[in-house]
Amino acid sequence: MKLTLALAQLNIQLGNVDHNCRRGYEMITQAAEQGCQLVLLPELWTTGYDLSQSAHHAQANQACLVQLTELANRFNIAIGGSLIESSQGKYYNSFYLVTPGNVAPACYRKIHLFGLMHEQDWLQSGDRSVLAAVSGIPAGLAICYDLRFPELFRQYALDGAQIVLLPAEWPLRRRAHWEILLQARAIENQFFVIGVNAVGASGGETFGGTSLAISPWGETLAQAPPGEEACLIVEIDTRQIDQVRSRIPVFQDRRADVYGSPGAAYNRDCPSE
């Protein structure tokens, strides 16, 4: 099955919801006009890391979600990206995937909070992975720092994901990690990995752009520039997954009897010496 998607690499203005939403809507319109079935926006794309204002931004983001639903239905396009969300008095960095015709969007709350950006001071962590469908293709949802935790990606692969979507605000100074880890997650799980980053300076950090679409073979299918906004269009074909897995049958050769499910080892007691 083929899927045409857009990687909407934005220069996020810290705390400026009106500006950021306007740019996001422009990117969504551009992607729809080019026949895309999905557009992916960066992490916290409406606000950036303006976490001290989470209560205010969470309320504004509700109106944004309503607008995204309208755009998804008008253009018949799926829209994804993370933003600050409020639930029962707590705040989350949540990846919403809005799909046309569906009232309730898929919602993944970031499991691994990033201490260097002080997320844990303002936000709660999520506690479950989320597998959604985009044009019939099973898609795992992840956010930025999650990229450093291969257990999550392996779980998605075992659950049947054919693609993982990852919005991010990844610093330019760790751009090499960004590129290598996206490629590694794709190679080791033999599925597509799509990472959409931000550009520009915000909160004392410069973000590295270089949004990437990586194939199950680890090839770079599309790459955005490191320092400017871009709406990058790429087509993927999920039939490539079976081709790659037949060449190197990693999932047939797994020894789950030895190492169990992802993360299982962390729940075992160490043997006595």
CA pair distance 121, 82, nearest whole angstrom: 18
**Angle, nearest 10°, between helix axes 17-33 and 54-75?**
20
CA 156/CA 240 separation, integer angstroms: 17
By CB atoms closer than 10 A (0-12, 13-18, 19+), residue 255 is: exposed
Between CA 215 and CA 222 the distance in angstroms is 10
Q: For residue 164, give both structure tokens.
A: 């993982």
Active site residue 2: no
Strands 137-141 vs 199-202: parallel, antiparallel or unpaired = unpaired
Which strands form 220-223's sheet, in the order they lie side by side?
131-134, 137-141, 163-167, 192-196, 212-214, 220-223
Tokens describing residue 71: 């755009």
- Asked about 43 being catalytic, the answer comes back as yes
- CA atoms of 161 and 157, how far apart (whole Å): 5
Among the listed residues 119, 144, 169, 229, the single catalytic one is 144
Contact criterion met (CB below 8 Å) for 225 and 210: yes
Query: Which one from 64, 85, 107, 110 is the annotated catalytic residue?
Result: 110
The yes-or-no answer on residue 110 being catalytic is yes
From the candidates 21, 43, 85, 205, give the one annotated as an active-site residue. Answer: 43
Catalytically active residues are: 43, 110, 144
